[in-house]
Structure 1
């Protein structure tokens, strides 16, 4: 049985014997070969993440931290469970890159505050009206005109590019993506929590505009870059960035409502 990883268009075959040599025999040479075989995952993740980051963030820095995530994934992955290593490693790699960015405080406090205000506006207004709210309604709530609101979206774009990996609760380390991982022995409380979170997320997605849903789908499911999405939708990259920011902030507002309801029960 072999697995393949695409590297510059050429498939690399990863044999199960490598995993056995590393996991069962502790063969360091097998571990090194696994790392080298999956390095393309790191380069791919760095390329996608770099699209929404300031130019001051070097892709090489992302790759350095991403390699640490890859090594961590290889050390913790249970190949006998039949799961796709590529999917598991991709989240570990991306998570390591984001942790590195956070440690360097790459998003200015002023930008974080603006993102928080917009997120709060979506949370309050959509809870009040029980529907998707317009840019005009958000602008009025924030006390700015629509032009200023669009500028705010542009400024906070770099903070929303990683928001889906942030903790569900401020005092927890488990991210929203952690609920997508296939883990053993889920307890009933966990299953109920995940069920309601998925239901809440589905409702929040329903409130996205058509263009916002398309952007989210193309970016997170089809894995297109923002510039590629701009070409597909025949819009400017800055407009795609704004749509992405609005979609993520709207989703975060919905999940925050879910969190507050859960904590109040």
Structure 2
């Protein structure tokens, strides 16, 4: 399979020899430009077999370039086989690996979105069934506080054992006040009733969605959502009582 009908075979061989001897970046760039149409063709074939409709061709091409660069770095022209033959598997492999990583990240993002939606739904009940709240701003503030407490639990790494803290320490919130707040939340969480503590621990520590927690605890998903809301409200009230945080604004 030829890269281009306009390529001078002897000139390409000389370019490979020069690059093998010097490894100069300028020569590598010339090789990349020379074989980029081949990588594009390989990416187009893989793109035609894609399983994610929302992935752009440029994503495939970018991973194809990565495979091309790796192939150029490792190719040994003295072995006698064509570069395209050697590069094809590496380009395909780079695209497949890239798409696998993309799929994993995409699923993690989707799972995080579903978790946030489930939390919001649990905090919004039973107000949703009662219609529009009389105090809209107060209602929104309640939702915001509930979500904030939940995310503080999730992002703090507070449940890790002491020997693990060095590996899981959260560097996002390094303020003294926020550290103290997280410690207070931990103490309040330890004092929650059994089921409330279980739900919060499963959801924020182990990242389990409500339906999986429901199966584990042999309860309905609706009951898990109710326990989740009650637990966050208890934590919020505990923080109010200790004046660690002024929720009143």
Which structure has the bigger radius of gyration? 2
Verify same fold: TM over 0.5. no
- Which has a greater percent of strand? 1
Classify the TM-score, shorter chain: 0.3 to 0.5
- Which has a greater percent of helix? 2
